[in-house]
Chains A and B, each alone.
Chain A
Amino acid sequence: MNQTRNRLKSLFRARNFLGLATTSIVAASFSTTATPKLATGSFTAMEELNTRVCIIGSGPAAHTAAIYASRAELKPILFEGWMANDIAPGGQLTTTTDVENFPGFPEGIMGGDLTEKFRAQSVRFGTQVYTETVTKVNFSKAPFEIFTDSKRVVADSVIVATGAVAKKLNFAGSDTFWNRGISACAVCDGAAPIFREKPLAVIGGGDSAMEEANFLTKYGSKVYIIHRRDSFRASKIMQSRALSNPKIEVIWNSAVEEAYGERVVGGLRVKNVVTGEVSDLKVNGLFFAIGHEPATRFLDGQLELDSDGYVVTTPGTTKTSVRGVFAAGDVQDKKYRQAITAAGTGCMAALDAEHYLQEIGAQEGKSD
């Protein structure tokens, strides 16, 4: 009886963190459904799982951790998320096209293909992958709890590798025209026919902005890069590629004040932040390429974060403020943020977790 009550309690808790419009799970528990439904929300009890290591994430960090953990026979469970933070499983790499700087691919590889390979490799060595989004965690005591809509996982150790989300800007019209000409992913949406042979704009100054601007020249008639400063922070090679593209024009020292139009974006009001002058720019598409924000909100403050929201890790390790919980990839890396550095920290996290499990195993006199 107590067990059922505790399960119901955890059901209630899990529900509170849902941003989705699913049917009430408590009601469903006590009704009988004649036709089984496909969507979530109609399953009754939470499935309870146990594991030595639970990995939250789906990018290079998460899968490298999974490869190492599964090869160490730790039987890891990995939650790759269902469109968590509006990004497909695989993470940020699924939002880019050619990846030319990940070692091992001299001809380059498409971001989506690379993430598929990561996943196939983790699965090959026995990682249990669930396409579910973690809604809540409990790191207050060991073993730790990780919740999704339908599962409660009890884990001896956890690796947080949830990455980061593309930042967006707010200005008049940015909400109205979201997905109606304004997007944070040039690669995802740039190919839409509505942008074909039309003038487009990218906001940003890093490598991603250069890559996305170049990508968009395949579809648009012209691509403007709007940057708030007078120089890019992108790598030299990416800068020169963008600047030497005849379809690309840079608008320096500028920021977008307003997006207007009818059904789709028709133009922007752009302000020069140095002179204060506001001008009109006719574009039918605007893409943000201004960086990312770490996906740490679901942790609900249970791990120490820095002022920018990144998980704090002990330098030289992936250890977080909670013993037994490790963080890898962009979620804890403000500085490098590369697929390959994420993969590196993913490996470190798996090794740190393995070491930790041996420690607690030894302390409790357990044998595996």
Chain B
Amino acid sequence: MGAVLSYMGSILSYLFGASPAGEDSAVDGQPGVTAFHSSARWQLHFNSIKNTTQLMVIDFAASWCGPCKAMEPAVHAMAAKFTDVEFAKIDVDELPDVAQEFGVQAMPTFVLVKKGNEVDRIVGAQKEELQRKIEKHRR
């Protein structure tokens, strides 16, 4: 129990620690989840990851979506924990074409992609389900 608590504590201090400055691709300056604000950048990034076997989790959210905000800490925690998984965040109002391409109907929707293909998705703020599926697909 003590070990788990201190582990959680280290995640929290990691999350609230100093954030790297620089490029616009970090959400709230926190490393782990990369936010995309233009279709072009997204396309570039998506193509670059297509040829790897790395799992990517795309978080489709909206700025006024309550459940999306509720999921944020959990998603950041997972990004910090699963360092071999790529986490991307897309605001459906900023990039409606990308959201349309992935058939997003409700927010949040998490789409798991490997080698350019969707392997799984979670609709709704389902913390445990998201974690389970990430663990399942990450290797």
Pick from B4, B107, B127, B131: contact of A188, CB under 8 Å: B107
The answer to whether A192 touches B106, judged by C-beta atoms less than 8 angstroms apart, is: yes
B102-124 contact mask (Cβ, 8 Å, vs A): 1 or 0: 01111100000000000000011
On whether the beta carbons of A179 and B67 are closer than 8 Å, the reply is no
Specify which of A94, A192, A193, A264 is in contact with B66 (CB 8 Å cutoff).
A94
Q: Which residues of A contact B131 (CB under 8 A)?
A: 38-39
Q: How far is the CA of A110 from the CA of B125 in the complex (A)?
A: 21
> How close is A88's CB to chain B, nearest CB, in angstroms?
3
Most buried by A among B66, B70, B106: B66
Q: Beyond A39-B127, A89-B70, is A189–B105 a contact (Cβ under 8 Å)?
A: yes
Chain A residue numbers with a CB within 8 Å of B105 are: 179-181, 189, 192, 194, 264
For the complex, count residues of B whose C-beta is within 8 A of A. Answer: 33
The stretch among A40-48, A228-236, A271-279, A319-327 that forms the contact with chain B is A40-48
CB distance from B79 to the nearest CB of A (A): 11
| Min C-beta distance of A284 to chain B, whole Å | 10
Main secondary structure of the interface of B (DSSP, over half): helix
Per the 8 Å Cβ criterion, residues 44-79 of B in contact with A are 62, 64-67, 69-70, 77-78
- Interface: A346 (CB within 8 A): no
How many residue pairs between the two chains, A and B, have CB atoms under 8 Å in the bound complex?
A: 92
- Flag if B125 contacts A83 (CB, 8 Å): yes
B89 to chain A, nearest CB (A): 15
Neighbour of A191 across the interface among B11, B93, B97, B123, CB < 8 A: B93
List chain A residues, Cβ under 8 A from B125: 83, 88
Determine the main DSSP class of A at the interface with B.
loop
A82 touches B127 (CB 8 A): yes
- Chain A residues whose CB sits within 8 angstroms of the CB of B99 once the complex forms: 192-193
Taking CB atoms, residues of chain B closer than 8 Å to A37 are: 4
Contact (Cβ within 8 A) A38 B81: yes
Query: Interface on B for A, CB 8 Å cutoff?
Result: 1, 3-4, 7-8, 11, 62, 64-67, 69-70, 77-78, 81, 92-93, 96-97, 99-100, 103-107, 123-125, 127-128, 131
Across the A-B interface, the 4 shortest Cβ-Cβ residue pairs: A94-B66, A88-B66, A193-B100, A88-B70
Interface residues of A (CB under 8 A from B): 20-22, 36-45, 82-83, 86-90, 94-95, 97, 110-112, 131, 179-181, 183, 187-189, 191-194, 196, 263-264
